[in-house]
Structure 1
Amino acid sequence: EEELAKKFPQARVARIDSDSMAGKDYYDLLRKFGRGDIDILAGTQMLAKGLHFPNVTLVGIISADTSLYVPDFRANERTFQLISQVAGRTGRSSKKGTVFVQTFLADQPVIKFALAGDFEGFIEEELKHRRACNLPPFWRLAAIVARDENFEKLEAATNALRGKIDEIVSRNSLQINVRGPMPAPISRIQRSHRIQIILQAPTPEPIARLFAVLRKEPPIRPAVKISIDIDPANLL
């Protein structure tokens, strides 16, 4: 916002994000922008969704590749979605629109597909990648996330859990790939450390059977808090 004001001193500049304003202020600012009382509106991903301003003729996307660095299997999908949505904010009337994209990965297929509006091309490429890596929608996932304030205790518990999972998988000949334990991408929330174990299976049945057997086993020691997410929306 400050840089825009310096570069365009005659323009009326405003910033919009979830951290800087409440709901009423958010809608008041959007109405001002829609009326033309604001010339340049800077914001976060909040600006990408569900907004219709026919007079917008230029959109800039800063660091468009940032979400590609997120260690999550839906990173490509989210990047494509974000760029497509933001680019779609411009050129919504008879006026021609222009989109500028800042990226260090200009040759990355996701970026190219998004800028070309090639949904079919992106889907085809992404599905090839997911099939090769045993990811949804071809395989099923389950995320086991353990957390505790004491990292050594948490590490011991998740290692014991991994040993128990391996034993059950082997004993019951379950077709499950097990990854971890490993620090979760968001490795700490407040004072609690987070370690995860990821399960991959071609169908839901092996994972369901694993947890059915695991529930009958003696509790893992030392005791820590554990959550299980079947078909997780992300692996963060």
Structure 2
Amino acid sequence: MITQVSGRAGRGSEPGKVIIQTYNPKHYSILASLHQDYNEFFEKEISMRKTFEYPPFSDIVNIVASSKNENEAIKVMNDITAKLKQKIEGNGFDANVLGPTQAPISKINTYYRWQTIIKGRVDDALKKCVKSIIDETYPKSGSVKINLDINPVSLA
């Protein structure tokens, strides 16, 4: 995206100037963008994803509970997570349950946010298991909203 935005700098034959503010100017994504080296970026990114078992080498499911009452969001997320851990570990699914924890963006407007992440091989059986646990644990008419995202673009 940095490369795409920087390509917009300048007018016609006049060169443009791009200023990027960052805490980490030596990060591989910044350096690859600076040199417009897409292959370097891809090689480092895909290597990191393989090492940490991120997509496309595994799947990630992000479950977020949000509520105006933080304690309610925490309780629902704790209940869902406990059931997920019991069911996933007890039934031999190739996945790990991480959390619950405060979401990286812990409050949006007046809603507190807590999340649990499932990382591993997410097949139809696991999706069905997750959906049934959420449906059993969380009444849709309650004050807590649940968002389920498979292979999210962001975990924020």
1:74-223 to 2 correspondence within 5 Å? 81=1, 83-90=2-9, 93-205=12-124, 207-211=126-130, 213-214=132-133, 218-220=136-138
- Counterpart CA distance in 1 for 2:50 and 2:95 is 16
Of structures 1 and 2, the one scoring higher in RCO (CA 8 A, sep 6+) is 2
How far off its partner does 1:102 sit? 4.2
How far off its partner does 1:212 sit? 5.4
Q: Which amino acid letter does the alignment assign opposite residue 72 of structure 2?
A: K
Q: Structure 1, residues 150-187: CA drift from partner, whole Å, max 9, x if none?
A: 11222122111111111101221111111111111221
Q: Determine the structure 2 residue equivalent to 1:15.
A: none
Q: Determine the structure 2 residue equivalent to 1:233.
A: 153
Q: TM-score, with normalisation over the residues of structure 1?
A: 0.57
**How many residues matched?**
153
Provide structure 2 residue ranges, at least 5 long, that are not aligned to the other structure: none
Identity of aligned residues (%): 31
Radius of gyration: which is bigger?
1
Q: Structure 1, residues 36-79: CA drift from partner, whole Å, max 9, x if none?
A: xxxxxxxxxxxxxxxxxxxxxxxxxxxxxxxxxxxxxxxxxxxx
Match of 1:135, SS state, is: coil
How far off its partner does 1:188 sit? 1.4
Q: TM-score, with normalisation over the residues of structure 2?
A: 0.83
Provide structure 1 residue ranges, at least 5 long, that are not aligned to the other structure: 1-80
Q: Which amino acid letter does the alignment assign opposite residue 226 of structure 1?
A: I
- Counterpart CA distance in 2 for 1:195 and 1:100 is 35
How far off its partner does 1:98 sit? 4.7
Residue pair 1:141, 1:200 contacting (<8 A) in 2 also: yes
Q: What is the RMSD computed on CA atoms of the aligned residues?
A: 2.4
